[in-house]
């Protein structure tokens, strides 16, 4: 087997996703009086957006279609959310965020199916992310669904923890040259 010309971008993509998801989900869960939203918006542009998008491009170089699509798309999700929040008054349009999240719920559903050929860690990330998006979509569809957003926030915190674990496993296992944090190989 030939040596890769590009280091594994997976831990970077997962870390960018995890940290940004953690901050936004803390706001959705009602923690820290909204400070998580301020942190999430900055992270959405740089770490969740640009860094994760770059990880997706590097996955293309490694010929990893799943990783390329996942990281590029979720990087674009964060960049799009940044634009949604900061331009054109996106949060003022009733149901607008619900429509945005519905599209990502659909995308995540088929990425969940594709993840079934990866490892148990990523399957868990995509499964909980799918449920998170379902709750957030319903919660942002119109008005009066604050509890659905709050549940989505707590599920998002779990999603972030799982993604951080997968990121840590990727970098720690590669650095140590052995499995320190198991991911449960599947496919």
pLDDT at position 145: 87
3-state class (DSSP) for residue 119: strand
Q: What is the number of domains present in the chain? A: 1
pLDDT at position 187: 56
Per-10-residue mean pLDDT for the chain, 187 residues long? 80 98 96 89 96 98 97 98 85 84 98 97 98 96 87 98 98 97 85
pLDDT at position 133: 98
pLDDT at position 132: 98
Q: Is residue 183 part of a domain?
A: no
pLDDT at position 140: 92
Q: Is residue 123 part of a domain?
A: yes
Measured distance CA(22)–CA(125) in Å, rounded? 13
Enter the DSSP assignment of 95.
T
Q: Is residue 34 part of a domain?
A: yes
pLDDT at position 83: 93
Q: Is residue 177 part of a domain?
A: no
Find the helix or strand (DSSP H, E) in which 86 lies: helix 65-86
Q: Is residue 83 part of a domain?
A: yes
Quick one: which of 86, 83, 93, 81 has its CA closest to 133?
Answer: 81
Taking the model in full, what pTM does it have?
Answer: 0.94
Is residue 71 exposed (0-12), middle (13-18) or buried (19+ Cβ within 10 Å)?
buried
Number of helices (H), then strands (E), belonging to the chain: the values are 7, 0
pLDDT at position 6: 85
């Amino acid at each position: 087997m030939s040596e890769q010309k590009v280091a594994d971008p997976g831990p970077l993509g997962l870390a960018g996703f995890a940290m940004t998801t953690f901050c936004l989900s803390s706001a959705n869960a009602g923690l820290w009086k909204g400070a998580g939203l301020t942190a999430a918006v900055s992270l959405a542009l740089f770490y969740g957006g640009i860094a994760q998008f770059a990880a997706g491009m590097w996955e293309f170089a490694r010929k990893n279609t799943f990783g390329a699509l996942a990281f590029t798309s979720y990087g674009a999700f964060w960049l799009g959310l940044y634009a949604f929040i900061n331009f054109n008054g996106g949060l003022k349009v009733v149901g607008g965020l619900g429509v945005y999240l519905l599209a990502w719920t659909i995308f995540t559903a088929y990425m969940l199916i594709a993840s079934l050929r990866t490892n148990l860690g990523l399957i868990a990330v995509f499964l909980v992310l799918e449920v998170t998006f379902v709750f957030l979509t319903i919660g942002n569809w119109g008005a009066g669904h604050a509890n659905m957003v709050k549940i989505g926030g707590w599920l998002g915190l779990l999603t972030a923890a799982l993604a951080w674990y997968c990121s840590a496993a990727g970098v720690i296992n590669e650095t140590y040259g052995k499995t320190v944090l198991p991911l449960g190989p599947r496919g």
